[in-house]
C-alpha cells in the first residue's frame, strides 16, 4: 500500500492546493479497478524541527513511500502514475517516513533524476 506524506504548515496556500490535489488523485484512484489502497498522512514543519530544517524552503513536499516525489506544486497525473506503479509497501514504523528520518532522502532542492518533472511543476 503506497503511503503519501504531505509535509507543510498551516496557512500555506501552496500546501492547501497540494492537499486538494492529493485528495483528488486518491479519490480518482478509488474508482479504478485494481487500484492500490493509499494511505495519506500530513506532517507540519512547525511540529518537527528536523522537518523544518530539511524542508522549510520547499513546502509543500510530497513523499511517496518515504521518497521525495515533488515539492511546491503537485502534478496530479505524475502522482497518479507513481501510485499506480508503487510496490506494495509495509507500514512505516512509527508513522514517520524514511525521508523524514534522513534515510533514503533526496538532498534539499533536488528532484530524483528517475522522476522527471517540468519546470515550474515541481
The edge-to-edge listing of strands for the beta sheet with 3-8 is 39-44, 3-8, 61-64, 67-71
Question: Could you list the pLDDT tens digit for every one of the 122 residues in the chain?
Answer: 899 999 999 999 999 999 999 999 999 998 888 888 899 999 999 999 999 999 999 999 999 999 999 999 999 999 999 999 887 654 443 344 444 434 333 333 334 434 444 434 43
- Structural contact between residues 43 and 100, judged by C-beta atoms closer than 8 angstroms: yes
3-101 CATH pick, 3.40.630.10, 3.40.30.10, 3.90.25.10, 3.30.870.10: 3.40.30.10
Q: Is the dihedral of CA 96, 113, 18, 78 positive or negative?
A: negative
- Structural contact between residues 98 and 92, judged by C-beta atoms closer than 8 angstroms: yes
Tell if the pTM clears 0.75, that is, is over it: no
Amino acid at each position: 500500500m503506497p503511503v503519501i506524506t504531505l509535509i507543510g504548515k498551516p496557512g500555506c496556500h501552496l500546501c492547501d492546493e497540494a492537499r486538494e490535489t492529493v485528495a483528488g488523485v486518491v479519490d480518482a484512484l478509488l474508482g479504478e479497478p485494481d487500484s492500490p489502497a493509499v494511505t495519506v498522512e500530513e506532517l507540519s514543519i512547525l511540529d518537527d524541527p528536523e522537518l523544518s530544517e530539511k524542508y522549510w524552503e520547499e513546502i509543500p513536499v510530497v513523499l511517496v513511500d518515504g521518497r521525495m516525489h515533488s515539492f511546491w506544486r503537485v502534478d496530479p497525473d505524475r502522482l497518479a502514475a507513481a501510485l499506480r506503479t508503487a510496490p506494495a509497501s509495509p507500514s512505516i514504523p512509527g508513522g514517520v517516513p524514511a525521508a523524514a528520518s534522513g534515510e533514503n532522502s533526496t538532498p534539499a532542492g533536488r528532484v530524483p533524476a528517475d522522476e522527471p518533472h517540468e519546470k515550474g511543476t515541481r
